[in-house]
Structures are given as structure tokens and as C-alpha cells.
Structure 1
């Protein structure tokens, strides 16, 4: 499955910069949808006070995902790759 990768940087509640990628099907390019997925993820890691805009989240590239991530995207609409300071 080809996916759109959205590179995301937000300031955590403790001031550290959190970096993660939001992956969606390649034809999903509406920022509002992507931002909602990002907010949902942030809430799941207790960072729900964060606002998400194009300042923090931008389309990066198209890529191919492994099968386990493809299943996540099919089931949830998105998948997250945690890069830095996500814990």
C-alpha cells in the first residue's frame, strides 16, 4: 500500500519537541483529516492539550508500508511512526 507521510513536530507538555509521522492512504490529502488523526494520537499519549496546524504537520512524501501498518491504516484510517520524544 502506498501512503502519504505527514512529518509532525509538536511541543510536549514538558517543553520537549515530539517528532512523529502520520501515515494515511496516499489519496488522503485533506489537512483537517490529518490533523484530527494527529490530535487523536496526541490524546492517546497524554498530550491532548496540543493544537495541531500546518506549522507542526506537513506532507513529506509518498512511501510504501509493511503489511502490519497497512492493516492499521485500513482499520483506523491512519498509523503513527514515533520518531523522537514520544515517551
Structure 2
């Protein structure tokens, strides 16, 4: 599966910066990638308002590894947590 990567930054409820990537199937709109990022923030107890379209930008496309592809098929997206994020699920 080919995926698009959206480099994303959000502000947590405590005011710290969270950096994460939203992985979606190639061809998914930027608006949908943003919505997935906001959905993930809500799922970890953060405000979806912490992520704005201007902070969720297309970065590149790549081939997904099997684990990521499986998660995207089942959930529509995959989040790669980086700086300032809670422990990965």
C-alpha cells in the first residue's frame, strides 16, 4: 500500500507541543488527514482544536510496512507519535 505522510504539530491541553505524523492511504484529502489527526487527539484526551490545517502538512509518500497498512485498512489512518506525545498505544 502506498501512503501519504502528513507532518503534524498540535498543542496539548497543558500547552506542550506534540509532533506526530498522520499516515493515510495515498489520495486521501488533506482535510481527511486533518480530521484523522483531530480524531486521534480526542482519543488520547486532548482537544481536537489543538491541531489546525496549517500544522498538518503533506510531507511525502512512501510504501507502508505491513503493520501500518493493516492499521490503515482497519481504521483509515495510522499515527506515528514523535516528540511530546503520550506513550504509543
TM-score, normalized by length of structure 1? 0.90
Change in 2 beyond 3 A, CA 1:49/1:26: closer
Q: Which runs of 5+ in 2 are unaligned?
A: none
Deviation at 1:20, TM superposition (A): 0.4
Deviation at 1:34, TM superposition (A): 1.1
Matched, 1:8 2:3: no
Deviation at 1:54, TM superposition (A): 2.3
Q: Which runs of 5+ in 1 are unaligned?
A: none
Change in 2 beyond 3 A, CA 1:5/1:16: same
What is the total number of aligned residue pairs between the two structures? 86
Change in 2 beyond 3 A, CA 1:69/1:12: same
* Larger helix proportion of the pair: 2
Deviation at 1:49, TM superposition (A): 4.6
1:1-87 correspondence runs (5 A): 1-28=1-28, 30-87=29-86
1:84 & 1:51 partners in 2: Cα distance? Answer: 15
TM-score, normalized by length of structure 2? 0.88
